[in-house]
């Protein structure tokens, strides 16, 4: 089982030819491969790439080899050969990579191989992939790129290729010096090398003029030099200048002439053998005997090998001709007898079909122009090619068939429909399926008609047009009743189940899916359809678990495109529903990459929409809107109207959050219209919910409520508790604002019952696609519900998760205060404008409370700080007015009957309410520094940087001359200087002089007498050899100390200065 599908002759370097010169210059270049991640040896044919690389085997260093061929463009076959190449020389390597590959999990197999090589590969090992361009399909390129990205450090890869491999990471690797590129100019023989080759290897001494002539005319092309030598060896009396004069100035013409001359010198038997076997791409004696109808091929191959006549030994008894010589032989054979060439292709095809090498069989049937036999073979294995994602191979074979042959083989027409569908050419697919349906109807082929109907239905399922799909699937099921084909009926019922799901009938979908499983005699299983049922019925955690299992199983595995059903794309949507922004981003980007890899613009379009959802969760609304626009453009190109429905739904939310209600309304109306036209109740409800939420954000609560009621009814009919919970939360908010308190509490009570039962806590604890941008909006309603004794424990749990466990009153937003630098206050996302304070004293009073946070101030203390010059009565009056102004600024919509959320009075004492939802930058700044002090290394530095980024300036610059703020200002400044000093020192220790200087300058700008910063500046300039700047740093330090404190620099500073002066 382990060796099945492996041609071991491809895993050994070609044997050195008898007349081969190991060029020291090229050998030295290749020796540098051990200093690079990847080496690319790129040149056109005939430049001796394989010959030069094969000589690496003579060095004795660990070498793994794989000669790629045209049959290796499928990722499975490519990876099978790569694994075999390593296993051949590492017999103790575990079987894990092969085991994963046999499960069709290519990416997992590659990862297992990387792990195995990390443990078993010797230092400075080389892995050569010769003729890589023959295998470099999209899938293979992606696998190789992944392999190279995680390559064990002791292994180095050399790619021999005619064309630059399109590897995604190549640019980055080049930029970091990890790529060695050896190209045509490096492989071409120099003038001196030409002279050495002919003198030392070919034993032909050329004059300097002849060397010049040969170097000029051949341009150092190794194969041309070899051909010249063959001709000179055959005709020793022929002068080189005479030989070259007989040819044209074109290198191609020269090569053609020399090849003719070489061929003409062979015996008739050898000439005949060369021309006959040119039919084959690679060969051994058995296939040569088969196409020649002789039994002497083994001896002839041995003779050609011994005479080094353009025969490349691939290992064992397997060979190919040099590519250029092969082209020449094929041209000559076709010119002599084209019919005989076709006959040999036919014999080769029959040989390969008998040995079950179907790829080679089809290749030769096509070249033999026996198109019916080629088509029959394609029909036999086409289904397997579609299932394993070998779309390019199948398409290339069918493209080679003439139209009449395709018309005579309806199954080929059906494959063309499938290819078009899987490549997102949906109109073309419908055309092919409709055409083959007519053919099968004329032939009264019930099985074929059913198949064509299923193909058309799949197009409508892919493009989410359930009405059209329904009729086709029902007819296919009726026809299937006349056949005894349980498997086909099960497949049709699965498709019908998916179609039911697309129109919001999740219950019917699950029933049909269960019937399909019963027909297939299977137990319960998780597939994409069952996951989509769970998604649309609110079973998000179960759907996620199933998808994650599927994603692990599919990792690196080839499969045909599945459009919106791709595992990663569904995961990205669930991530967005559950508020997991980073995971949503990752899965959406992986989905887009998958679309590119599978050449499926529809997958890319869905991926763009899911990326838009993820970007919204991160607050990047402009980029999200761009993604939706790009998705719609792709959908329009593919004529998939349904794409616009989800994109418009996403745009509704983005425009609503941005405050562009008219655009949100326009987006929602189009999305709802498309969803209704396709019968998708669930998507209709999503769009209604999102527009309702946008209206609520714009405080159009009555209009929002009406639309949200419609959404709630839609989610009820779909059986989706998640949609119902989200809708009821928005209804609770809108009703609360409309002063419909009982209705609001009922909606919230019902919503919390669902969220608790279904574990939807994230709807209230994080930012999600259907929930609130800031869940604090609903906190006032939660507090009222708790006050009435309902859901007390669950509400306490949610408030604790929101870090609001101590809150007793709440305005529906967090108050955020910036005290470091320019003073600013935000109510949620809204900045408190200057005019809203009404009077300057209101700001000052709030600043006083912030400075004394954690403490209740007596009235007399407040008067002393803010109204020191006024009489007690005047101060009391002004304080009362100022306090009212302060509360209005912080909570402009608070009813006079409600207690303030942020400022509280207790008798004659007043201050900030304990447990209030209040974020103060100074507290966060101090907290981050305290955390950093407990950490080490990079973790500590990251925390210090986060803290210092908050320090926009000194504490409350408005109160610079007020005594009550000075102690806090000095405390925070001291924290800043200490943290900045540690960052500067760490930067200096790590050799980052620029960052060290930056932090020192910031320190000295705030405290010119901070000597340690001055010493670090002196060290940096001394390291740079800039004695002038070093001296200036010392002088600036001394001057500051003298001016500020009438002090001299400390002994440590003076000692360092003299030490640096030398």
Q: What is the 3-state secondary structure (H, E, C) of 797-859?
A: HHHHHCCCCCCCCCCCCCEEEECECCCEEEECCEECCHHHHCCHHHHHHHHHHHHCCCCCEEH
Q: 155 with 240, same domain? A: no
The pLDDT value recorded for residue 250 is 37
Q: Is residue 894 part of a domain?
A: yes
The percent helix, strand, coil of the chain (3-state, each to 5) is 65, 5, 25
The pLDDT value recorded for residue 345 is 95
The pLDDT value recorded for residue 948 is 96
The pLDDT value recorded for residue 113 is 95
Q: 162 with 211, same domain? A: no
Q: Which of 163, 187, 211 is the last residue of a domain?
A: 187
**Bridge partner residues of 955 (DSSP):** 820
Number of domains in the chain: 7
Q: Is residue 395 part of a domain?
A: no
> How far apart are alpha carbons 453 and 474 in whole angstroms?
9
Q: 280 with 422, same domain? A: no
Given a contact cutoff of 8 angstroms between Cβ atoms, the answer to whether 135 and 79 are in contact is no
Q: Is residue 497 part of a domain?
A: yes
SS3 assignment for 583-622: HHHHHHHHHHHHHHHCCCHHHHHHHHHHHHHHHHHCCCHH
**Long-range contacts, stretch 665-673, CB < 8 angstroms, 24+ apart:** 665/691, 665/694, 668/694, 670/644, 670/645, 671/644, 671/645, 671/646, 671/647
> How far apart are alpha carbons 118 and 115 in whole angstroms?
5
Given a contact cutoff of 8 angstroms between Cβ atoms, the answer to whether 140 and 72 are in contact is yes
Torsional sign, CA 258, 259, 261, 266: positive
Q: Is residue 386 part of a domain?
A: no
Q: What is the pLDDT of residues 889-932, one digit of tens each?
A: 999 988 888 899 999 998 889 999 998 999 999 999 999 999 99
How many residues comprise the chain? Answer: 1062
> How far apart are alpha carbons 717 and 723 in whole angstroms?
11
Q: 62 with 141, same domain? A: yes
Q: Is residue 1053 part of a domain?
A: yes
Q: Which of 805, 836, 857 is the last residue of a domain?
A: 805
Q: 854 with 888, same domain? A: yes
User: Would you give the distance in Å from CA 42 to the centre of its chain?
Assistant: 28
The pLDDT value recorded for residue 560 is 63
Q: What CATH number has the domain bearing residue 591? A: 1.25.40.10
Select from 187, 251, 195, 253 the least CA-distant residue to 222: 187
Q: What CATH number has the domain bearing residue 879? A: 1.10.10.10
> How far apart are alpha carbons 36 and 59 in whole angstroms?
18
Q: 178 with 248, same domain? A: no
Token pair of 273 as six digits:
């053998």
Sequence-ordered list of residues with C-beta below 8 angstroms from that of 871, at least 6 positions apart, any chain: none
Q: Is residue 1051 part of a domain?
A: yes
Residues 150-166, buried b or exposed e (16+ Cβ, 10 A)? ebbeebbbbbbbbeebe
Q: 12 with 109, same domain? A: yes
Q: 35 with 163, same domain? A: yes
The pLDDT value recorded for residue 414 is 92
Sheet of 125-130, strands arranged across: 63-67, 125-130, 155-161, 38-42, 179-183
Q: What CATH number has the domain bearing residue 127? A: 3.40.50.300
Residues 876-896, buried b or exposed e (16+ Cβ, 10 A)? eebbeebbebbbbbbbeebee
Q: 752 with 839, same domain? A: no
Q: Which of 916, 935, 963 is the last residue of a domain?
A: 916
Residues 1016-1025, buried b or exposed e (16+ Cβ, 10 A)? bbbbbbbeee
Residue spans of beta strands (DSSP E) within 60-213: 63-67, 125-130, 155-161, 179-183
* Residue 991 CB-density burial (10 A; 0-12 exposed, 13-18 middle, 19+ buried): exposed
The pLDDT value recorded for residue 247 is 43
Q: 233 with 174, same domain? A: no
Over the chain (1062 residues), the average pLDDT of each successive run of 10 is: 70 80 84 93 81 84 91 90 93 91 88 94 93 90 94 95 86 91 87 88 85 80 80 73 51 53 77 93 93 93 74 81 75 88 94 91 94 93 82 89 92 90 84 91 88 86 80 81 71 74 72 65 56 86 89 72 79 95 94 85 92 95 96 86 90 95 95 88 94 95 95 90 96 95 94 95 95 93 93 93 91 96 94 93 96 93 92 92 95 89 92 94 96 91 95 93 93 96 92 92 94 94 89 94 91 92 78
Q: 437 with 328, same domain? A: no
> How far apart are alpha carbons 571 and 759 in whole angstroms?
18
Q: Is residue 50 part of a domain?
A: yes
Q: 177 with 197, same domain? A: no
- β 38-42/63-67 pair status: unpaired
Which residue range is the domain that position 628 belongs to? 547-640
Q: Is residue 967 part of a domain?
A: no
Given a contact cutoff of 8 angstroms between Cβ atoms, the answer to whether 1060 and 1037 are in contact is no
Select from 685, 667, 251, 235 the least CA-distant residue to 503: 685
Sequence-ordered list of residues with C-beta below 8 angstroms from that of 902, at least 6 positions apart, any chain: 815, 887, 890, 891, 912, 913, 916, 918
């Amino acid at each position: 089982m382990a060796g099945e599908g492996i041609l071991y002759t491809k895993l050994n370097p070609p044997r050195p030819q008898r007349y081969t010169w190991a060029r020291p210059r090229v050998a030295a270049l290749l020796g540098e491969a051990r200093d690079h991640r990847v080496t690319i040896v790129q040149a056109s044919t005939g430049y001796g790439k394989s010959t030069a690389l094969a000589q690496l085997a003579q060095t004795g260093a660990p070498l793994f080899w794989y000669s790629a061929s045209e049959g290796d463009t499928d990722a499975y076959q490519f990876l099978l050969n790569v694994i075999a190449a390593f296993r051949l020389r590492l017999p103790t390597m575990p079987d894990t990579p092969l085991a994963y590959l046999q499960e069709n999990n290519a990416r997992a197999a590659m990862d297992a191989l990387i792990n195995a090589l990390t443990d078993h590969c010797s230092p400075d090992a080389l892995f050569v992939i010769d003729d890589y361009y023959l295998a470099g399909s999209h899938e293979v390129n992606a696998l190789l790129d992944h392999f190279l990205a995680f390559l064990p450090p002791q292994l180095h890869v050399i790619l021999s290729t005619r064309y630059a491999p399109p590897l995604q990471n190549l640019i980055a690797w080049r930029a970091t010096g990890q790529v060695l590129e050896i190209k045509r100019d490096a492989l071409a023989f120099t003038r001196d090398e030409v002279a050495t080759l002919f003198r030392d290897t070919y034993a032909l001494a050329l004059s300097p003029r002849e060397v010049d002539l040969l170097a000029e005319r051949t341009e150092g092309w190794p194969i041309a030099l070899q051909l010249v030598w063959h001709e000179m060896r055959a005709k020793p009396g022929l002068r080189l200048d005479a030989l070259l004069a007989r040819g044209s100035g074109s290198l191609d013409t020269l090569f053609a002439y020399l090849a003719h001359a070489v061929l003409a010198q062979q015996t008739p038997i050898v000439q005949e053998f060369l021309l006959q076997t040119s039919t084959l791409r690679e060969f051994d004696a058995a296939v040569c005997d088969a196409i020649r109808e002789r039994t002497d091929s083994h001896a002839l191959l041995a003779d050609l090998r011994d005479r080094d006549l353009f025969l490349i030994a691939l290992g064992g008894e397997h060979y190919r001709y040099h590519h250029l010589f092969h082209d020449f032989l094929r041209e000559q054979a076709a010119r002599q007898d084209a019919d005989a060439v076709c006959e040999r292709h036919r014999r080769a095809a029959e040989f390969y079909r008998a040995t079950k090498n179907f790829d080679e069989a089809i290749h030769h049937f096509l070249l033999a122009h026996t198109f019916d036999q080629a088509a029959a073979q394609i029909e036999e294995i086409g289904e397997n090619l579609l299932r394993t994602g070998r779309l390019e191979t199948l398409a290339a074979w069918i493209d080679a068939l003439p139209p009449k042959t395709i018309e005579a083989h309806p199954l080929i027409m059906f494959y063309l429909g499938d290819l078009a569908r899987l490549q997102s050419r949906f109109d073309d697919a419908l055309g092919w399926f409709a055409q083959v349906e007519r053919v099968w109807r004329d032939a009264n082929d019930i099985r074929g008609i059913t198949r064509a109907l299923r193909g058309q239905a799949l197009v409508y399922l892919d493009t989410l047009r359930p009405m059209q799909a329904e009729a086709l699937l029902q007819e296919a099921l009726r026809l299937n009743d006349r056949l005894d084909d349980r498997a086909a009926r099960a497949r049709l019922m699965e498709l019908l189940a998916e179609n039911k799901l697309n129109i919001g009938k999740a219950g019917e979908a699950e029933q049909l899916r269960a019937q399909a499983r019963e027909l297939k005699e299977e137990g319960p299983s998780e597939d994409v359809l069952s996951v989509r049922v769970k998604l649309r019925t609110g079973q998000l955690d179960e759907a996620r678990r199933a998808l994650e299992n599927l994603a692990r199983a599919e990792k690196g595995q080839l499969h045909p495109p599945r459009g919106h059903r791709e595992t990663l794309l569904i995961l990205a949507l669930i991530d967005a529903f559950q508020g997991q922004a980073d995971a949503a981003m990752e899965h959406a980007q992986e989905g887009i990459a998958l679309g590119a890899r599978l050449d499926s613009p529809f997958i890319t379009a869905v991926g763009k929409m899911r990326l838009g959802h993820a970007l919204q969760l991160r607050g990047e609304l402009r980029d999200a809107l761009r993604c939706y626009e790009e998705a719609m453009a792709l959908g329009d190109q593919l004529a998939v109207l349904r794409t616009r429905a989800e994109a418009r739904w996403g745009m509704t939310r983005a425009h609503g959050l941005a405050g562009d209600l008219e655009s949100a309304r326009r987006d929602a109306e189009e999305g709802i219209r498309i969803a209704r036209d396709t019968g998708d109740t669930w998507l209709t409800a999503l769009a209604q919910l999102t527009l309702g939420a946008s209206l609520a954000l714009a405080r159009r609560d009555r209009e929002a409520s009406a639309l949200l009621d419609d959404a709630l009814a839609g989610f009820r009919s779909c059986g989706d508790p998640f949609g119902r919970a989200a809708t009821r939360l928005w209804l609770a908010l809108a009703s609360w604002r409309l002063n419909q308190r009982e209705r609001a509490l009922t909606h919230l009570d019902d919503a919390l019952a669902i969220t608790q039962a279904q574990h939807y806590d994230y709807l209230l604890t994080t930012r999600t696609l259907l929930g609130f941008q800031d869940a604090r909006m609903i906190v006032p309603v939660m507090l009222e519900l708790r006050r009435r004794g309902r859901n007390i424990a669950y509400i306490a749990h949610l408030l604790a998760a929101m870090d609001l466990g101590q809150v007793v009153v709440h305005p529906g937003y967090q108050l955020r205060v910036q005290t470091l630098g320019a003073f600013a206050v935000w109510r949620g996302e809204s900045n408190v404008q200057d005019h809203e304070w009404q009077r300057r004293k209101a700001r000052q009073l709030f600043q006083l409370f912030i400075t004394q946070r954690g403490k209740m101030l007596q009235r007399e203390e407040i008067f002393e700080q803010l109204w020191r010059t006024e009489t007690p009565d005047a101060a009391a009056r002004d304080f009362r007015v100022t306090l009212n102004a302060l509360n209005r600024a912080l909570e402009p919509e608070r009813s006079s009957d409600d207690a303030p959320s942020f400022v509280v009075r207790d008798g004659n004492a007043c201050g900030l309410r304990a447990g209030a939802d209040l974020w103060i930058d100074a507290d966060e700044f101090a907290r981050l520094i305290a955390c950093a002090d407990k950490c080490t290394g990079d973790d500590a530095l990251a925390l210090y940087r986060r803290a210092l980024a908050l320090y926009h300036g000194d504490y409350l610059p408005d109160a610079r001359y007020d005594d009550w703020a000075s102690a806090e200002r000095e405390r925070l400044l001291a924290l800043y200087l200490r943290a900045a000093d540690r960052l500067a020192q760490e930067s200096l220790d790590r050799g980052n002089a620029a960052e060290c200087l930056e932090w020192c300058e910031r320190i000295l700008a705030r405290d010119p007498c901070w000597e340690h910063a001055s010493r670090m500046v002196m060290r940096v300039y001394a390291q740079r050899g800039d004695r002038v700047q070093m001296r200036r740093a010392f002088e600036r330090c001394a001057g500051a100390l003298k001016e500020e404190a009438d002090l001299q620099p400390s002994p440590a500073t003076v000692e360092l200065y003299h030490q640096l002066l030398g």
